[in-house]
Amino acid sequence: MLFRVIRALGLATVIAISLIEPYKAKAQMNMNMGGYANSHYAGIYGVPSNPAMAAGTHFKWDINVAGVNAALGNTYARFSKSLIFHPPDSLQGLKRNRDYFLDTLSTGKQFGWGNMDVMMPSFMYSFDETKSIAFVWRVRAQGNGGGMNTDVANFFANNFPNSQYNNQRFDMEVASGSFHMWNEYDLSYAQIIKDDGMHLLKGGVTLKILNGIAAGYAQVEDASFTMNSATSADIYSGTLKVGYNDGINNWKKPNTSNYKPFTGNWGLGMDIGVVYEWRAEMDGLQGYDEMDWNPEGDDYKMRLGVSITDFGGISYKKVASNTDLSLIASNINPYEIKMRKGEGWQSYYRRLQQYFTPIASDEKFRMNLPTALNVMFDYNIDARFFVNGAAVMSLNSGRYDPSKTYMVSHFTITPRYDGRHFGVYIPIDVNNHSQFDMGAGFRLGPLVIGSNTVLSNLFQKNKNRLDGFVALRL
């Protein structure tokens, strides 16, 4: 096995921020924003998860100044609280059982993820009470990694190379890591399809012009290996699939200097959604009267929404050194194939091809968006207090497409108080890795701020998930 590359993939599940090592934001989610995006006061922030949310609202105009939603998590390592406030410049300085703690006894697979979604200046406009459009400019970055069994993760994370693992055979069905950063220019149209007074149905679609900045992936498949000693290993089977573009190859510091509003990497995408509202006799939303625009907008007893988001992808040209590799090798010394000090990725990967057998691959790769099915339920208790349920289910997280990023599937229940100028949100979330979180969000006039994990993290000494969001609207 290609120990240097696989070790990097292993550490991607050990330390989640290594998934997005090229983009070291101090804090790195689906634009749910702690349940706020499904609120009837969400305005333009409801559009990314379901474009139908733009129709039939009480907003004539809604203008976003800026908003950021970011999340970071993994299943294998927990980190001390001090690292949140004083993150290291590099991963090499982290010390096990002081800075991070590994779940070495787990019997499952290990995963890591991170994403950031920045909504740049954007707007939503209602032509009338039934039809609306929206333009949303987003800058998105997302990383995923894992799929590795815990025993293999332990092999690479526990003082590699560790003699206690000598002469043991390890098998890896798949282990992968991917990163994608791109611009997204979205034009949405939504309208009410049917309204008979009691039942209302609206639909919407978003067409996306995608502009890629940096993308890359690496996936090891069907590998089997034995470490004979610290300087000798046998690899019986395995394939490494790799692809990355110049944006990854030429990444510079500071990280913000790599951002470009327009590049040569273009693609198309789409979101589509419907919303049903049951409008039993209501007293109206708090604070709205006949003097306001469309005062009966969002005046429902129950709302149900379904959407599929992030169809599409972006094509990239691989750097010249990219090729897949057959990893079969005998008596290979892991130290000989380590990345050397000062060695760039392109030079390093060319040198690796001296030790392993290249396999022809395409000169381009398509980085697919994190396609997801979104289902939402919202119940109006008394026009001030609501309860919301929302599920996000990844549709492309399987092994057969290495060039992609994908959502972490999760379900969130959010009780909330919503007044015209003030709101409180308490998201309670569980993801497909059986991780539980509780957070809090607040809306005060045009400002929204919160986190899906802040309350649960208060009671945990060491953390393996962190997120936050903030938004400012006019």
- What average pLDDT does the segment 450-474 reach? 92
10 Å Cβ neighbour count for 170? 18
Is the omega angle on the peptide bond into residue 161 within 30 degrees of 0, that is, cis? yes
**Distance from CA of residue 464 to its chain's centroid?**
15
- What average pLDDT does the segment 201-217 reach? 96
Instruction: Give pLDDT, residue 264.
Output: 84
CA distance 6 to 153: 10
DSSP-derived pairing of the beta strands 428-431 and 410-418 = antiparallel
Which CA distances in Å does 386 have to 157, 274, 296, 410?
A: 45, 20, 17, 20
Instruction: Give pLDDT, residue 254.
Output: 67
Is the omega angle on the peptide bond into residue 254 within 30 degrees of 0, that is, cis? yes
- pLDDT-above-70 percentage for the chain: 90
Half-sphere exposure of 321 (CA within 13 A, CB side): 15
10 Å Cβ neighbour count for 371? 21
C-beta separation of 262 from 285 below 8 A = no
3-state secondary structure of 152: helix
Widest pairwise Cα distance in the chain: 81
- The burial class, CB within 10 Å (0-12 / 13-18 / 19+), for 26 is exposed
Q: Which residues pair with 372 in a beta bridge?
A: 309, 394
Q: Residue 150: name the closest of 105, 95, 101, 112 by CA.
A: 105
pLDDT band at 82 (very low <50, low <70, confident <90, very high): confident
3-state secondary structure of 350: helix
Query: Under 8 Å CB-to-CB from 304, ≥6 apart: which residues?
Result: 275, 276, 277, 376, 377, 378
pTM to 2 decimal places: 0.88
Residue found by looking up tokens 């349920």 in the block: 389
Instruction: Give pLDDT, residue 22.
Output: 33
The answer, yes or no, to whether residue 121 has pLDDT greater than 70, is yes
Q: Residue 183: name the closest of 140, 235, 238 by CA.
A: 140
3-state secondary structure of 84: helix
C-beta separation of 37 from 45 below 8 A = yes
The answer, yes or no, to whether residue 8 has pLDDT greater than 60, is no
The answer, yes or no, to whether residue 66 has pLDDT greater than 70, is yes
pLDDT band at 140 (very low <50, low <70, confident <90, very high): very high
Which CA distances in Å does 251 have to 7, 216, 219, 244?
A: 21, 12, 21, 12
Of 151-155, 265-269, 270-274, 296-300, the poorest mean pLDDT is in: 296-300
3-state secondary structure of 395: coil
Residue 458 gets which letter from DSSP?
A: H
- What average pLDDT does the segment 8-18 reach? 38
pLDDT band at 226 (very low <50, low <70, confident <90, very high): very high
Residue 81 gets which letter from DSSP?
A: H
- What average pLDDT does the segment 429-446 reach? 94
The angle formed by the CA atoms of residues 157, 159 and 161, to the nearest 5 degrees, is 100
The answer, yes or no, to whether residue 289 has pLDDT greater than 90, is no
CA distance 62 to 37: 14
**Distance from CA of residue 285 to its chain's centroid?**
33
The sheet with strand 77-80 has its strands ordered as: 100-102, 77-80, 462-463
CA distance 371 to 349: 31
Q: Residue 267: name the closest of 402, 117, 140 by CA.
A: 140
DSSP-derived pairing of the beta strands 372-380 and 447-451 = unpaired
CA distance 58 to 284: 11
Q: Residue 152: name the closest of 89, 76, 206, 216 by CA.
A: 76
CA distance 230 to 35: 50
Query: Under 8 Å CB-to-CB from 258, ≥6 apart: which residues?
Result: 22, 23, 181, 213, 214, 247, 251, 252
pLDDT band at 9 (very low <50, low <70, confident <90, very high): very low
CA distance 16 to 73: 6
3-state secondary structure of 144: strand
Instruction: Give pLDDT, residue 368.
Output: 95
C-beta separation of 178 from 113 below 8 A = no
Token duo for residue 259 = 């951002």
pLDDT band at 242 (very low <50, low <70, confident <90, very high): very high
- Termini Cα distance of the chain: 55
